[in-house]
Amino acid sequence: KTSKQSSYSNITAMFAAIDKYLVQHTPSWYRTPVVQTSALGLVFFWVFAAYTTVQFYSASIYGSALAADCVSAVYLTFTVTCLVAPGIINKFGCRLAMFVGVLCYGNLVL
């Protein structure tokens, strides 16, 4: 195995262990589609609310031109990655893809 395959299998094993723990320790009502959809909706709401806050904060610090460039870069990234996202999700899975996507937001904030 290459180091890339090994790290991918380690990440997959970590997520499998987390899944096993969560299935054993979460109540059954929490795993229903309505609750999961609502939870995902709340997560997306708060991620974008935090992003908008950071955007306005950066505009006040760095100026509106730099903030507009940052937003343009983010939306350009959204446009390009939505073309390749199905392949990435098929290869790595939904959870890992969402995890990396949220890390990219964190990188933008820092």
Is pLDDT at 38 greater than 90 in this prediction?
yes
Q: What is the DSSP string of 81-101?
A: HHHHHHHHHHHH-HHHHHHHH
Average pLDDT over residues 45-71: 82
**Entry pTM:** 0.50
Average pLDDT over residues 42-66: 83
Give the C-alpha separation, 73 to 103, whole Å.
Answer: 16
Q: Which one is predicted more confidently, 39 or 3?
A: 39
Query: Given CA atoms 67, 70, 76, 77 in this order, what sign does their dihedral have?
Result: negative
Predicted pLDDT of residue 1: 52
Is pLDDT at 75 greater than 90 in this prediction?
no
Predicted pLDDT of residue 4: 61
Predicted pLDDT of residue 50: 79
Q: What is the DSSP string of 35-66?
A: HHHHHHHHHHHHHHHHHHHHHHHHHHHH-HHH
Is pLDDT at 2 greater than 70 in this prediction?
no
Predicted pLDDT of residue 42: 92
